[in-house]
Amino acid sequence: MKKVVVVGGGISGLSTAWLLRDKARQAGVELELVLLEKEQRLGGKIWSIKADGYTCEWGPNGFLDSKPQTLDLCRAIGVEQNLHRSNDNARKRFIYSGGELHRLPEGAPSFLKSRLISWPGKLRLALEPTPFIASAPAGIDETLADFGRRRLGQEALDKLIAPMVSGIFAGDPETMSLVSCFPRIAELESEYGGLVRAMIMLAKQKKRDMAAGKVVSSAAGPGGVLTSFREGIQYLADALADSLGGIVKPGIAVTAVEKPGSGGYRVKCSDGSQQEADLVIVASPAFAAAEMLAGLDGGISGVLRQIPYASMTVICFGYERDRITHPLDGFGYLIPKKEGCSTLGTLWDSSMFENRAPTGKVLLRSMMGGACFPEYVKLSDDEVTARVKKDLKATMHITAEPSFVRIFRHPQAIPQYTVGHGKRLEALAELLKSHPGLILTGNSYRGIGLNDCVAAAQKAADEALVVLG
């Protein structure tokens, strides 16, 4: 019987362990499987905190149902019937600019009417499909900022791309890699010569495919409905942990992964114990993996340390509904850096999921920090609260005092796919060839969302079965 140790009890580690066990059973492969997690609580950054009738998400608040990975996992573990999809409000998204909230246009007519982009900015965007726009530089890992300026213009970069990058990655578009963060957009430009041309061609293809009973993605990437559970997204992590049962060992930190002379791997733990394994899957953040693999391979550890992380502070404010004049009929809003606010944006959580706040109250969740403002994670609670209140007054004219406040700090929240990320992944793949049976997975590599983590877990489980024969 082969033994596998999974390191990390976040959604990546839990999903990998569950999928590997399931695939091994189907293949008739007997495994001894152990999952080690340094914290007593499982789920990593997935944590739904309930207090005073509110449900506050410490990290992500769900996943899009347009990709199959997480939905398939929910179906497999028997929790599909408990899925809770956001209401139609989640379709409406806003950008704060020039002292007001602008709804993001969903089509050409609404785009022309929108005051978010000036007429000179709109004219610059109209040039995107023309031959006057330079093509992607060959062999260059282009930043998102350079791509935005080249294809869409400075105003679109400032008011559309930069807020999107901060909202998804908490990142700085001046350092983030286009091909690593949004590979589909890079592919569309390469295939069609421009984004507008790609949208037109894909729209035509979609009509043809829909007539044939098929569906294709839009040029802007996958859509879908934001999906969670009534209990919060932590329900998924808890369900995975419960299904795995005694396989999971919380409160045990891995200090080192070694290769003994007898073959296989030795996983050394903080409590003095050690696990002998034929295969080790590390599902920890890159910086944590770097520490535990330093003695095994300094090259792997060195590359992992080159993957930076952005800090983030999450602030939940609860209000009496009748104290807020704004209709809160949407997902929330993002704030361009040039607006000079402290927050990156605010989500109207109780508008998307009606059970996130007590009756007669609302829950707003603001984000602060990111790659552009790393020092904000060190601000005091009083300073954080004051800055959020100031921004909410400016953006939504809220003058009432919140009756509920929770502040969560993430010093190393989100991995940053900066320029050179693809080369780093290539280097890791080459170095790992010297260590068959050592697998890295998680959101540090090829996607930070929940769907990405589950997709990576599927790939890791498949690779593990191949290695184990």
pLDDT in tens, 46-63: 999 999 999 999 999 999
pLDDT in tens, 148-169: 999 999 999 999 999 999 999 9
The domain spanning residue 174 has which CATH number? 1.10.3110.10
- Residue 273 sits in the same domain as residue 300: yes
- Whether 177 is covered by a domain: the verdict is yes
- Residue 302 sits in the same domain as residue 422: yes
Give the pLDDT score at 160. 95
- Whether 55 is covered by a domain: the verdict is no
- Whether 54 is covered by a domain: the verdict is no
- Whether 106 is covered by a domain: the verdict is no
- Residue 133 sits in the same domain as residue 203: yes
- Residue 317 sits in the same domain as residue 411: yes
Q: What is the count of structural domains for the chain?
A: 3
Give the pLDDT score at 221. 39
- Whether 105 is covered by a domain: the verdict is no
Give the pLDDT score at 149. 96
- Residue 170 sits in the same domain as residue 298: no
- Residue 333 sits in the same domain as residue 404: yes
**299, pLDDT greater than 90:** yes
Confidence of residue 222 (pLDDT cuts 50, 70, 90): very low
- Residue 136 sits in the same domain as residue 175: yes
- Residue 324 sits in the same domain as residue 344: yes
- Residue 409 sits in the same domain as residue 457: no
- Whether 443 is covered by a domain: the verdict is yes
Domain end residue (candidates: 211, 246, 275): 211
- Residue 400 sits in the same domain as residue 447: no
Segments forming the whole domain that contains residue 382: 309-415
Mean pLDDT computed over 10-18: 98
- Residue bearing the bigger pLDDT, 105 or 319: 319
Cα diameter, the chain? 70
- Residue 315 sits in the same domain as residue 411: yes
Mean pLDDT computed over 414-428: 98
Tokens 């430009």 appear where?
Answer: 189
The domain spanning residue 371 has which CATH number? 3.90.660.20
Confidence of residue 193 (pLDDT cuts 50, 70, 90): confident
Domain end residue (candidates: 415, 432, 457): 415
Using a pLDDT cut of 70, give the percent of the chain over it. Answer: 97
pLDDT in tens, 252-296: 999 999 999 878 999 999 999 999 999 999 999 999 999 999 999
- Whether 267 is covered by a domain: the verdict is yes
